[in-house]
Amino acid sequence: MVDIDLARRGIKDRNVLDAARNVAREAFVDPGFEEFAYEDGPLPIGDGQTISQPYIVALMIEAAGVKPGDKVLEVGTGSGYAAAVMARIARRVYTIERHAALGHSARERLERLGFDNIELRVGDGTKGWLEAAPFDAVIVAAGAPGPPQMLMDQLDVGGLLIIPVGPEVSSQRLMKITRISGTKFEEEDLGGVMFVPLIGEGLPSV
Ligand code: SAM
């Protein structure tokens, strides 16, 4: 999967490719879906949510420039797969899931698999994780009408926010937002994506 779906489709970052090789995706899919775990597509994980496509997970982590020593925030833990891939690279991963049942099973799974550098919280990730900020990178695994200000404010200077943005699922763009200074942010459009909606109180009204 890593060679065919990630490397041949343009993922170049060695850290990301090695990390994806070191996380068994079959441990993150629901029972009965193991045979599809290494196909490059999203799969259902309950509560109407999905484990993201491996290529998109790798693309987002590469775009966020996650590197050894980093402190990273993920909004939308889902199965815990993306958090696990990032935890193979970063120093510490903070991840927030809105659905309690998904959050609890992801926590149980990550503990069982021995990940000891992931902090997981059930709650509204649109507000970020203030006590752990600032972050080198923030990755949002759900689509928003615009980037939540609280997530932008919790980036370190030079930090990157990767977030699908768009009014509807069919018209989301993956945005890379770089904090240039205390008040200055730069945006880059990385292309079209499709994600389940980000739901929370910290969404901008657009
Ligand atoms: N990264 C996940 C993985 O590797 O399995 C896939 C994430 S799934 C595409 C998106 C997740 O975002 C869902 O589990 C959904 O419940 C969650 N979500 C939506 N709004 C949220 C919010 N405000 N805070 C935290 N999680 C949220």
38: containing domain: 2-192
State the closest ligand 1 atom to the C-alpha of 197, by its place in the atom list counted from 1: 19
Query: For residue 85, what is the domain's CATH number?
Result: 3.40.50.150
d(CA 174, CA 182): 23
What's residue 8's pLDDT?
85
204 in a structural domain: no
Tokens linked to 61: 């982590």
According to DSSP, the β-strands at 172-179 and 155-165 are antiparallel
Q: How confident is the model at residue 70, as a pLDDT?
A: 98
Task: Report if residue 202 sits inside a domain.
Answer: no
Name the residue among 73, 46, 41 with its Cα closest to residue 139: 73
Q: What is the ipTM of this complex?
A: 0.99
171 labelled catalytic: no
Question: Which atom of ligand 1 is nearest the CA belonging to 126?
Answer: 23
Supply the mean pLDDT for the chain: 95
Q: Evaluate whether residue 199 is within a structural domain.
A: no
Q: 50 alpha carbon to ligand 1 midpoint, in Å? A: 8
What is the C-alpha to C-alpha distance for residues 140 and 22, in angstroms, rounded to an integer? 22
**Residue 90's closest CA among 55, 58, 137?**
137
Give me the amino acid identity at 164.
P
Domain-embedded: residue 82? yes
Integer Cα distance of 196 and 172 in angstroms: 10
Is residue 200 situated within a structural domain?
no
For residue 201, tell me if it sits in a domain: no
Average pLDDT over residues 65-84: 98
Report residue 167's pLDDT band, with 50, 70 and 90 as the boundaries.
confident
Annotated catalytic residue within 52, 79, 105, 205: 52
Q: Which residue has the tokens 């926590």?
A: 107
- Choosing from 49, 81, 174 the residue with most ligand 1 atoms within 8 A of its CB, the one to mutate for a pocket test is 49
How far is the C-alpha of 20 from the C-alpha of 57, rounded, in Å? 9
Looking at the DSSP bridge assignments, the partners of residue 190 are none
Looking at the domain assignment, is residue 203 inside a domain? no
pLDDT band at 48 (very low <50, low <70, confident <90, very high): confident
Q: How many domains does the chain have?
A: 1
Q: In the prediction, which pLDDT does 164 show?
A: 98
